[in-house]
């Protein structure tokens, strides 16, 4: 009588498994930083869009009334903006952290939009400056003044 042989089942070797795990690890190592970088870029772009929207509302008000809107308390939408801007824009935090603030006739600047207490580092501020202004936070219309970023609409 012949002994009963079990059929050999094809299986992966340890070398093949380690190779696949290594390739997956490399792909994750490349993809995760790109995804995280994309989130930072999205926050910068959202902030740029918010600033442009506030600036457009202020310019429309100026065009209609011949003066800039009056400033209110920090982080609160000025009453003059009510017909020009959705109110929740001032209620939410800036995507880069901090609060939006409208300033009229403040610190020798006629009209500006500030981001008070931004939570991100100067690298992201510079990227925002590159998209809005000259890329240098010490010059131009988007400047860093201590604990705030200020976009000057009129000096």
- Please give the helix or strand (H or E) that residue 51 lies within, else none: helix 14-65
pLDDT in tens, 10-69: 788 888 889 999 999 888 888 887 777 667 888 899 999 999 999 999 999 999 999 999
Q: Considering the entire predicted model, what is its pTM?
A: 0.74
Task: Give the domain range for residue 102.
Answer: 18-154
**Whole-angstrom Cα distance, residue 64 to residue 134?**
30
Q: How many structural domains comprise the chain?
A: 1
* Residue 76 falls inside a structural domain: yes
* Residue 109 falls inside a structural domain: yes
CATH code of the domain covering residue 116? 3.30.700
Does pLDDT of 145 surpass 70? yes
113 in Cβ contact with 51 (< 8 Å): yes
pLDDT in tens, 78-122: 888 888 888 777 777 888 888 888 988 888 889 999 988 777 777
Does pLDDT of 135 surpass 70? yes
DSSP 8-state code for residue 12: -
Look at the block and give the residue holding tokens 């100067």: 122
């Amino acid at each position: 009588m012949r002994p009963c042989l079990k059929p050999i089942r094809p299986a992966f070797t340890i070398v093949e498994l380690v190779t696949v795990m290594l390739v997956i690890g490399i792909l994750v190592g490349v993809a995760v930083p790109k995804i995280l970088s994309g989130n930072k870029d999205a926050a910068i772009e959202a902030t740029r869009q918010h600033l442009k929207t506030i600036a457009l509302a202020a310019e429309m008000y100026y065009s209609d009334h011949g003066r800039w809107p009056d400033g209110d308390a920090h982080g609160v939408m000025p009453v003059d903006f009510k017909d020009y801007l959705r109110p929740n824009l001032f209620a939410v935090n800036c995507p880069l952290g901090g609060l939006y603030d409208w300033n009229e006739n403040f610190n020798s600047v006629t009209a500006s939009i500030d981001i008070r207490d931004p939570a991100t580092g100067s690298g992201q501020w510079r990227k925002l400056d590159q998209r809005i202004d000259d890329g240098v936070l010490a010059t131009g219309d988007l400047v860093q003044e201590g604990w705030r970023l200020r976009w000057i609409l009129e000096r």
